[in-house]
Amino acid sequence: MKSLNTLLNRHVLSALVATPLLLANLAFADEAPAADVTPTVAAAPAEPAPPYTLTYNLGLFTNYISRGVNNSSGPAVQGGIDWAHSSGFYLGAWFSSINPQWTGASGTFTNLYANTTDPLTSRGNHVETDWYGGYTHAFGPVTLGVGGNYVWYPEYEKSYHNRNQNTFEGNVNVSAYGFTYTFYHAFTDWYGIGNTRNDAPGLPTPANASADSSGNQYHELKYGYTLPFADLNLAAKVGYQRSPDICMNQKDFLIGLNRNFSLPTGGKPLEGFNAGAAYTGTFATEQCAKDTFYYYDDNGEKTNTHMISFFIKRSW
């Protein structure tokens, strides 16, 4: 935020004060000066600002962390476009590169039940896309919102046994004084977890193989605050995932710092940059979830380890 204060020069102020006195003396003169009859050309009215905004963002992240779980196992490119109307409605689209073994033939969600002889085991999705929209309205310091998000994997056919891992979640949220609480509810099988998990031949049927992961719930509480020094922004969150029919209940957290900045150029600075770091992790809340397939990729690498991730992005 920038502000500018303008002080009047004492000489200019004196001239302004003297002007009415001079005009009063001219009023008593024998002859008044000739009036200026030059026609005044009215300035063209400024075009009204459109009732919507359209913004873009693009960034590089050392890891793509979602709800405490590492979806990329390495650097990820992310970006999106957002349309917001003054009425409160909004739409957006977003993408991120991901680890193909995370949603691949035996990645994360199906690792425990994958058939290692399946010819699809070396394949997987490389990109996740999110398509979302909703409505928000402010009531004084409190803002309420409702929305939905559809996660779509363009390389759907590369998922394990062509399983549909696309997921739709609805959400409601409330924000006030830097805090935002959001409740998410899955209306589809959550990332393909459901009653087809026993389709890997030769493996025993899991105890809850007939369970349905639609109805998966996620509670999230976020807090953001601009610190009074170094122009740093504090970002923090805690989350709780509840899976009614599948043993996947877990907690996650994030704590991080970031800073807005601009890049100097030969002319106007290039603005809209933000960079920072965040420390993330998860805690399984059930014994059966502590070693679940959800926390491993196809290489056996744990995806929920506590870690520090860095990023730089730009919005314009």
This prediction has a pTM of 0.76
Pairwise CA distance, residues 210 & 198, whole Å: 8
CATH code of the domain covering residue 68: 2.40.160.40
Query: Mean pLDDT throughout 138-148?
Result: 98
Arithmetic mean of pLDDT, 112-132: 65
Position 303 scores a pLDDT of 75
Q: Is the pLDDT of residue 273 over 50?
A: yes
Does 292 fall in a domain?
yes
pLDDT at residue 101, rounded to an integer: 74
Structural domain contains residue 7: no
Residue type, 298: D
Q: Is residue 109 part of a domain?
A: yes
pLDDT higher at 72 or 36: 72
Q: How far apart are CA 135 and CA 115, in angstroms?
A: 44
Q: What is the distance between the alpha carbons of residues 87 and 52, in angstroms, rounded to a whole number?
A: 9
- Is residue 83, in this structure, part of any structural domain at all? yes
What pLDDT sits at residue 43?
A: 74
Say which amino acid occupies 52: Y
Question: Does residue 80 fall inside a structural domain?
Answer: yes
Residues in the chain: 316
Domain of residue 105: give its range: 52-315
Domain presence at residue 151: yes
> How far does the chain reach from its first CA to its final CA, in angstroms?
16
117 pLDDT more than 80: no
DSSP 3-state of 13 = helix
Average pLDDT over residues 195-220: 58
The rounded distance, in Å, linking the Cα atoms of 238 and 252 is: 6
- Mean local confidence (pLDDT), 34-57: 79
Residue 99 CA: distances (Å) to CA of 14, 24, 65, 69, 104: 72, 82, 12, 12, 9
Residue 246 has pLDDT above 90, yes or no: no
Whole-number pLDDT of residue 157:
65
Largest CA-CA distance found in the chain, in angstroms, rounded: 115
Residue 272 has pLDDT above 60, yes or no: yes
Q: What is the pLDDT of residues 293-312, one digit of tens each?
A: 556 665 666 777 899 999 99
| Rounded average pLDDT over 217-224 | 98
Residue 277 included in any domain: yes
151-197 per-position pLDDT tens digit: 999 987 666 656 778 999 999 999 999 999 999 999 998 887 764 44
Domain count, the chain: 1
Reported confidence tier of residue 115, pLDDT bands at 50, 70, 90: very low
Asked if residue 47 is part of any domain, the answer here is no
